[in-house]
């Protein structure tokens, strides 16, 4: 049984089973303090872990740097154009390269660990908005929830999801949506802060959260790379403090060390 930490206004609650992978044994316990409440939780994999609860009053600024990405052999320049149709234009940050995927005005939290493989689960209230973290193109999306606990197909564990191929050539996978914005489709361009959908608990999940993963794009339709290969939480920390830290270098290093990554789990 997997335990995850959920944080939103005035509540820090332990919730059961929220990752889209096989669960692993519990290894240790630690006390996590989130003022004004202190709770004791059971952590996974690492004996020491921390939780980050986002302050909805904080803001960040940065300088945008245009980058390019090769998408199906075609070079596409990053765009700062604000989408013609979008809800909550106040969330849009086309001036940034990277943005935390929950608006600053919404309470959310995440841990510096994940069971089984590198990814970050972001906890927020059911129905909380999810926004694009980068400039990029929607590479894949799924509006239905095909997960069946009887078969537990790993490909279906993410439920409703969006996969973005960033203009930095990095794949960003966001899963367990309750709903995805109707105007979005494969090939749609997005900018940081553009609403993608709402936090949910579709797929292999029993608590509302956003599964966020960083990976290289594979030519085949796989799930074992897409689910995450490097830790996102350190990038969240940077993006929240106004630093435009890019995962490109770390991902290139990982890819070089795993040349057969797309062939099999």
Tell me whether residue 121 is in a domain. Answer: yes
The per-residue DSSP string of 81-93 comes to PPPSS-S-GGG--
Q: What is d(CA 144, CA 141) in angstroms, rounded to the nearest whole number?
A: 9
Tell me whether residue 263 is in a domain. Answer: no
- Other residues' Cβ atoms within 10 Å of the Cβ of residue 200: 23
Tens digit of pLDDT for each residue in 76-123? 333 445 555 566 888 999 999 999 999 999 999 998 888 889 999 999
Tell me whether residue 53 is in a domain. Answer: no
CB 253 within 8 Å of CB 230:
no
Q: What is d(CA 258, CA 100) in angstroms, rounded to the nearest whole number?
A: 27
> What letter does residue 61 receive in the DSSP assignment?
-
Residue 46's pLDDT band (boundaries 50, 70, 90)?
A: very low
Tell me whether residue 13 is in a domain. Answer: no
Give the SS3 label for residue 225: coil
Q: Is the pTM here over 0.75, yes or no?
A: no
- Other residues' Cβ atoms within 10 Å of the Cβ of residue 198: 20
- CATH number of the domain bearing residue 184: 2.70.70.10
Q: What is d(CA 14, CA 44) in angstroms, rounded to the nearest whole number?
A: 13
Q: How many domains does the chain have?
A: 1
Tell me whether residue 36 is in a domain. Answer: no
Domain of 181 in residue numbering reads as 64-257
Tell me whether residue 54 is in a domain. Answer: no
Tell me whether residue 39 is in a domain. Answer: no
Tell me whether residue 153 is in a domain. Answer: yes
């Amino acid at each position: 049984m997997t335990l995850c930490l959920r944080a939103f206004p005035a509540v820090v609650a332990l919730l059961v089973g929220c990752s889209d992978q096989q669960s692993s044994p519990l290894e240790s316990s630690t006390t996590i303090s989130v003022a004004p409440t202190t709770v004791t939780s059971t952590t996974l994999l690492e004996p020491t872990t921390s939780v980050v609860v986002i302050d909805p009053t904080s803001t960040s600024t940065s300088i945008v740097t245009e980058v390019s990405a090769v998408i199906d052999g075609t070079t596409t320049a990053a765009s700062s154009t604000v989408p013609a149709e979008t809800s909550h234009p106040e969330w849009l940050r086309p001036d940034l390269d990277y943005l935390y995927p929950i608006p600053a005005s919404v309470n959310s939290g995440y841990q510096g660990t994940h069971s089984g493989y590198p990814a970050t689960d972001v906890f927020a209230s059911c129905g909380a908005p999810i926004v694009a973290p980068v400039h990029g193109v929607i590479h894949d999306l799924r509006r239905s929830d095909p997960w069946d606990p009887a078969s537990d197909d790993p490909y279906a564990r993410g439920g409703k999801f969006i996969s973005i191929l960033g203009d930095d050539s990095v794949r960003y996978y966001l899963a367990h949506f309750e709903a995805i914005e109707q105007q979005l489709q494969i090939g749609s361009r997005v900018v940081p802060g553009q609403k993608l959908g709402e936090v949910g608990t579709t797929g292999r999940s029993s608590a509302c959260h956003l599964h966020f993963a960083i990976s290289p794009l594979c030519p085949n339709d796989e799930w074992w790379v897409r689910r995450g290969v490097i830790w996102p939480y350190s990038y969240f920390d940077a993006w929240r403090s106004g630093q435009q830290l890019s995962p490109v270098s770390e991902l290139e290093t990982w890819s070089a060390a795993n040349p057969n990554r797309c062939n099999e789990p």
